[in-house]
Amino acid sequence: MAAVVEMSRAFERARSVALVRESLSVLSSKWAVGLLLALGDGGRRYHEILSELDPISEKVLTQTLRAMERDGLIARQVHAEVPPRVEYQLTRLGASMAGPLRALGAWAVANGSSVASARERYDAVHS
């Protein structure tokens, strides 16, 4: 019986790790965090995002927007105007990442120099 319980726990841990990895995979994109932060202040049109995330290419921005829309983090709204106006905004799910991203950003600012120093020490020893 103990072996079955332990197997069940191991399965749940593996499942949890897979869920976390899959859910956070969107942040592995070079531009995803910047895009989330750019849309954090409200909706933006495509070219506004493009200029804000410069030097991102149009192709990469389009791919990133589509991937994040697929993941439910952003919504694309087409306004029936001539010419059509398209606006992107965070969904409730995307907006829920704002707090954790701010915390991660604060950690990066507070610890960035320590990370840089650690890299320099490592490189000096391993080069």
32, HSE (Cβ side, Cα atoms, 13 Å): 22
The pLDDT of residue 2:
76
User: Tens digits of per-residue pLDDT, 67-111?
Assistant: 999 999 999 999 999 988 999 999 999 999 988 988 988 999 999
The token pair at 67 is 């991937």
pTM above 0.85, yes or no: no
7 inside domain: no
Structural domain boundaries enclosing 77:
30-96
pLDDT tier, 25 (very low <50, low <70, confident <90, very high otherwise)? confident
How far apart CA 75 and CA 97 sit, in angstroms, is: 15
Say if residue 27's pLDDT is above 90: no
Residue 37 lies in a domain: yes
Q: Which residue has the higher pLDDT, 68 or 5?
A: 68
Confirm whether 124 is domain-assigned.
Answer: no
H or E, element range at 57: none
pLDDT at 4: 73
What's the CATH code of the domain at 88?
A: 1.10.10.10
Q: Is 69 helix (H, G, I), strand (E, B) or coil?
A: helix
- pLDDT of 20 > 90? The answer is no
How many domains, in total, are found in the chain?
1
Residue type, 94: G
The pLDDT value recorded for residue 52 is 95
pLDDT value of position 31:
94
**Length of the chain as a residue count:** 127
The reply to whether 63 falls in a domain is: yes
Asked if residue 60 has pLDDT above 80, the reply is yes
- The pair of structure tokens assigned to 72 is 């439910």
Are the CB atoms for 65 and 57 separated by under 8 Å? no
Query: Is 41 among the domain residues?
Result: yes
Peptide bond into 84 cis (omega under 30): no
Residue 1 lies in a domain: no
In a domain, 91, yes or no: yes
Q: 58 CB contacts (<8 Å, ≥6 apart)? A: 50
For a pLDDT cut of 70, what percent of the chain falls above it?
100
Chain position carrying tokens 């949890």: 16
